[in-house]
Amino acid sequence: MQGQTAIIVGGASGLGLTTAKLMVERGAAKIGLIDRNEQLLASAAETLRSLGAEVAVAVADISRADTAHRGFKETADQLGRIHSLVNSAAIYPRRPILEITDDEWDLENAINVKGTYHMMVAAVLHMRGFVNPPEVTGRIVNVTSVDAFKAHPQNAHYAATKAAVVSLTRSFAHDVAKHGILVNSVAPAGMATERAKALGFLEELAKASPLGRGAEPTEIAEWVLMTGGPKNTYMTGENVIVSGGYIYA
């Protein structure tokens, strides 16, 4: 990541912040964070600045095109050329399959699908301005989930949105390859984030995993950097499952 500049959506906490820290440790000098939580954003920015990074932040509602694009522009205007975008923002409200309301469907789609779409569009419009074929000029990584590939009756609306993001990843990859932009996704199983610990499903996951545990966020962040960093010069349209053997696909 030496000399790279990245924007991370949902970067104020969880996997997003872990990825940002790892990028800085690997040489990224500039990081943009987009999130809806202003307080967590401020704290995350201070953490990254203490590691030596230049940081730009934007509070944004990514479910709307205008505010999502504004958030990207605010960070890009401060940081300059953006080499990588990481979409890690998502909501995860568990609900039995026969009880999901219209409002819950709308919110899941607004953040997990539309939000990811809006941020990818903003990134492509920015990145294609640096076209110099056949050089790879930009990389986009979408964080999906193993839930996109398995039955999940306790969270079917979440799983459906993550399957949609896998599809979006492939469509974008096909369309923007001509601009030298690579688009991939990373699908983790449960991670030991603070939110996951609070929801209480990590013990259940550990029992179902051959490795006997959920992933540490850093273990997933490594794959985000692999697909979203300069070492990736050829892989696009792929989904990398990192589940510790929880599923095989």
Provide the edge-to-edge strand list for the sheet that holds 30-35: 54-59, 30-35, 5-9, 84-87, 138-143, 181-188, 239-242
Nearest-angstrom CA–CA distance, 191 and 215: 5
| Helical spans, DSSP H, in 26-64 | 38-50
- C-beta separation of 246 from 146 below 8 A: yes
Of 92, 117, 158, 248, the catalytic one is 158
Query: What are φ and ψ of residue 184, in 5° steps?
Result: -140, 170
Query: What are φ and ψ of residue 64, in 5° steps?
Result: -115, 140
Nearest-angstrom CA–CA distance, 35 and 10: 5
If you ran DSSP here, which 8-state letter would residue 147 be given?
A: G
Kindly report whether the peptide bond that precedes residue 134 is cis, defined as omega within 30 degrees of 0: yes
- C-beta separation of 187 from 239 below 8 A: yes
Does residue 158 carry a catalytic annotation? Answer: yes
Residues assigned a catalytic role: 158
